[in-house]
Amino acid sequence: MKIGIGNDHAALELKRELKDYMESLGHEVTDYGTNTPDSCHYPVYGERVGRAVVSGEVDCGVLLCGTGVGISIAANKVDGVRAAVCSDVTTAHLVKEHNNANIIAMGARIVGGELAKDILRAYLEAEFLGGRHQTRIDMIHEIEARKE
């Protein structure tokens, strides 16, 4: 799979670890930054990865910040993004099966590297179940269409 990854300064080390991990699983990873430890603004990277996912440049995205929350909120402002913060394996497979999340977000201050890898693998290996779940996703995107 083609996977886009983005992060702020709080998650630089975790990003490097997860990028290597995904490449070891055979995925092609595009890194949208940041790549320095200098304090930066997570909305920049959330938006970059969100747009890359919606345009089809990558198949899905991984976003990382201190909690995973700020960067996922930013990505979710891009129409078509369904970014889900996960800090456990069960949520990680359910956000793909039920919500067809096209971005998974995690917090480097919340999960350690080994747990993050397990979460990521559960997300990447899960499959969307469709059916009634697709109806609900369509309803979510109808909300975007009603935006003023």
Choose the catalytic residue: 9, 27, 98, 133: 98
Q: Which is nearer to ligand RB5, 3 or 64 (CB)?
A: 64
| Number of residues forming the site for ligand RB5 (CB under 6 A) | 8
Gap between the Cα atoms of 99 and 85, Å rounded:
12
The yes-or-no answer on residue 133 being catalytic is no
Q: Which is nearer to ligand RB5, 108 or 124 (CB)?
A: 108
The yes-or-no answer on residue 86 being catalytic is no
Helix, strand, coil abundance in the chain, percent, nearest 5: 50, 15, 35
Gap between the Cα atoms of 117 and 21, Å rounded:
7
111 binds ligand RB5 (CB under 6 A): no
Q: Which is nearer to ligand RB5, 43 or 91 (CB)?
A: 43
CA 88 from chain centre, in angstroms, equals 14
Continuous segment of H or E residues that includes residue 6: strand 2-7
67 binds ligand RB5 (CB under 6 A): yes
The contact pattern for ligand RB5, residues 24-43, with x = CB under 6 A and - = no contact, is ------------------x-
Choose the binding region for ligand RB5 from 15-23, 63-71, 95-103, 131-139 (rule: CB under 6 A): 63-71
Gap between the Cα atoms of 125 and 140, Å rounded:
24
10 binds ligand RB5 (CB under 6 A): yes
On whether the CB atoms of residues 45 and 72 are closer than 8 A, the answer is: no
**HSE of 141 in the Cβ direction (CA atoms, 13 Å)?**
13
Active-site residues: which are they? Answer: 65, 98
Question: Which residue ranges make up the site for ligand RB5 (CB under 6 A)?
Answer: 8, 10, 42, 65-67, 69-70
